[in-house]
């Protein structure tokens, strides 16, 4: 899954659950972006690159989600 796929799935999950999702591209450094899911947040590394398994699990944990929720 790429970073863009992750962002797209988080936005869909937010719409389904009624949770606000905000992507703040200006707060990140370089190609990094900050993704807010309600009160939780995580950093999305270069959205065009493939996410490694550990990185994906860590990002989901920071947002309080499981990978199976996506």
Q: Which two structure tokens, joined as six digits, stand for 16?
A: 């389904």
Domain limits for position 9: 3-69
In contact, 44 and 6? CB cutoff 8 Å: yes
pLDDT in tens, 31-70: 889 999 999 999 998 888 899 999 999 999 999 999 998 8
Domain count, the chain: 1
What CATH number did the domain enclosing 60 receive? Answer: 3.30.920
The burial of 53, by beta-carbon neighbours within 10 Å (0-12 exposed, 13-18 middle, 19 or more buried), is given as: exposed
Q: Could you tell me the pTM of the whole model?
A: 0.89
Q: Over 80: is that where the pLDDT of 3 sits?
A: yes
Q: Over 90: is that where the pLDDT of 30 sits?
A: no
The burial of 66, by beta-carbon neighbours within 10 Å (0-12 exposed, 13-18 middle, 19 or more buried), is given as: exposed
């Amino acid at each position: 899954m790429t970073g863009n796929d992750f962002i797209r799935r988080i936005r869909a999950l937010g719409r389904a659950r009624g949770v606000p999702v905000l992507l703040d591209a200006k707060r990140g450094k370089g190609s990094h972006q900050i993704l807010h899911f309600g009160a939780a947040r995580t950093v999305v590394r270069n959205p065009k690159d493939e996410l490694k398994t550990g990185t994906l699990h860590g990002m989901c944990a920071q947002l309080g989600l499981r990978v199976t929720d996506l």
